[in-house]
Structure 1
Amino acid sequence: MQTTIRSPWGITSYGAASVQVAPDVARIRLGIDRTEGSPEQAFAAARAAISGLREAIRAHGVPDGQASASRLDLQNSWNGYGADRQFLGYRCQAAFAIEYRDLDSLEPFLIAAVEAGANQVEGVDFDVRSKPALRAQARADAVRVARAKAELYAEAAGVRLGQVVHIEDVDPESIGSGRYRGHGDSGGVSEADLAPGAVVVSAAVVLGFAIAAP
């Protein structure tokens, strides 16, 4: 079976890279959920919990700008289905999003937040504030990986690598799947990337090089 290369023009190379750093911020999602017999009581109970939670947040040194709350939501609360459904009251909810930077005191803060009135812990995600700079570093590393791979191909083929004629940014999540299956072996995600307590910032790129004249 003969394989034909359509529109040959040069060398295409894929590169991926990751930067692994320790997190310096936790993004916390908390909820307040209160059900009472009347709308007024539900609003009052939720507002009291919000006030207590805000005091706990401030007591742990979190500026108001790093904690945001949704508007109060009110709806009927039921238990069961069909003819057996029972009306429980009026349910008032609010959600909090908090950026917490003192990770050494994260556990005491979560305990204080729950004791202050947050009866829903929807998630705690660790992140790094310098992510744009780390992403730029990973992209630069990915370019170096792609170039090194292209130079290896050119040397093995007995040609000289020419100028870059194509640059394509690639979603790192596509590594090992789809169009770039099997090309994420150099500079891609490794076991170290999955180390607990670390934030991994990844980038990937496809470079197209011309073949220089002899």
Structure 2
Amino acid sequence: MPIPARAKTSGLKLAAAAAVGGTAMMLAGCDSQSGPTLQPSADTRQVTVVGAGQVQGTPDTLTVNASMEFIAPDATTAMNQTNERQQAVIDGLAAMGIDRKDIATTRADLQPQYGSDNTSIAAYRATNSINVKIRDLNKASNAIGLVVGTGGNATRINSISYSIEDDSQLVKDARARAFEDARDRASQYAQLSGLNLGKVISISESGGETPPVPMPAAGPRAMEAAVPLQPGQQTVSFSVTVIWQLD
């Protein structure tokens, strides 16, 4: 059927209106791995960017998790031997200047050990574990040597990790770098789109944690000599999402 001239004109007007409406866009969803995403917005133009910031600091604390473990024919002997050896370790650490509040028991258990038939109990294994937080890194090597020397073959060094006791300033610095990174990105997108960067609409953040740096544990034989320790550097990372208005 032929289309009346009036209807053709209306269709052209609707298409033109849609083209004009398509020029009001919102620039959003940009990060370091993907480009900006355009979304229609009837009221305002805006750009959303994710900024990242990192700073490094030197660890000042070492945490050691060490266990004493004995196997004996009866439960009482196994537990008593383990507890006595661990108590000697705790007393020795305190004597060298480590505060007792920085020594915490993390595990104390007793497990039966079955014989070859897997039905009868042949012995008992007792384990007592502690976390030792060493704030003076100059004492770290001697402290680990004391643990091994006192515990002997009953010693198990489960983990060693460095951390930063107070990383609040590092977090502030990383946050500032993340925001500046977001501002630089937003300014570039504003320039590319022929607009000016306006006021901040919203800010959301994530990060700021400093995970401890683990070190591989070693057995007692490897720790008979002085333990070489190197704290290295830790990285504090921060991420911030900022939305700016585009004028």
CA distance in 1, matches of 2:38, 2:52: 25
Q: Which gives a bigger RCO, structure 1 or 2 (Cα 8 Å, sep 6+)?
A: 1
The percent of aligned pairs where both chains have the same amino acid is 24
Matched residue, 1:31: 67
Q: 1:64 aligns with which of 84, 88, 100?
A: 100
1:8-87 superposed matches below 5 A: 8=41, 9-70=45-106, 72-78=108-114, 83=117, 87=121
Counterpart amino acid of 1:208? Answer: I
Preserved contact between residue 35 and residue 88 of structure 1 (Cα < 8 Å): no
Distance 1:79 1:21 in 2: 51
Structure 1 moving runs of 4+ over 3 Å = 83-88, 170-173
- Mapped to 1, the partners of 2:201 and 2:96 lie a distance apart of 53
Q: In structure 2, how many angstroms separate the alpha carbons of the residues matched to 1:124 and 1:160?
A: 52
What does residue range 64-213 of structure 1 map to in structure 2 within 5 Å?
Answer: 64-70=100-106, 72-78=108-114, 83=117, 87-117=121-151, 119-171=155-207, 197-212=232-247
Q: Following the alignment from structure 1 to structure 2, what is the Cα–Cα distance between the partners of residues 132 and 86?
A: 55
String of CA shifts for 1:156-202, please: whole Å, max 9, x gaps: 322111111122223589xxxxxxxxxxxxxxxxxxxxxx7111111
Task: Quote the Cα distance in structure 2 between the aligned partners of 1:172 and 1:104.
Answer: 28
Q: Tell me if structure 2 keeps the 8 A contact 1:170–1:204.
A: yes
Contact 2:66–2:131 (8 Å) recurs in 1? yes
Larger radius of gyration: 2
Residues in 1 aligned to 2:53 and 2:95: alpha-carbon distance in whole angstroms: 41
Contact 1:69 1:96 in 2 (8 A): yes
Question: How many residues are paired up?
Answer: 185
Letter in 1 for 2:232: G
Q: What is the identity, as a one-letter code, of the residue corresponding to 1:149?
A: R
Contact 2:107–2:130 (CA<8 Å) still a contact in 1? no
Shift of 1:62: 0.6
TM-score, normalised to structure 1's length? 0.77
2:150 partner amino acid:
A
Unaligned residue ranges in structure 1 (runs of 5+) = 174-195
* Whole-angstrom CA distance in 2 between matches of 1:172 and 1:130: 12
Aligned partners of 1:28 and 1:75: how far apart in 2? 24
How many Å separate the matches in 2 of 1:172 and 1:109?
31
| Amino acid in the other structure paired with 1:17 | G
Query: Which residue number corresponds to residue 6 of structure 1?
Result: 39
Task: Provide closer, same or farther for how the CA distance between residues 172 and 133 of structure 1 changes in structure 2, counting only shifts above 3 A.
Answer: closer
Once residues 175 and 120 of structure 2 are traced to their aligned partners in structure 1, the CA distance between those partners, rounded to angstroms, is 57
> Does the CA-based 8 Å contact 1:52-1:116 persist in structure 2?
yes
Letter in 2 for 1:53: V
Quickly say closer, same or farther: Cα 1:172–1:34, change in 2 above 3 A: same
Do 2:83 and 2:128's aligned partners in 1 also have CA atoms closer than 8 Å? Answer: no
Unaligned runs of 5+ in 2: 1-36, 210-230
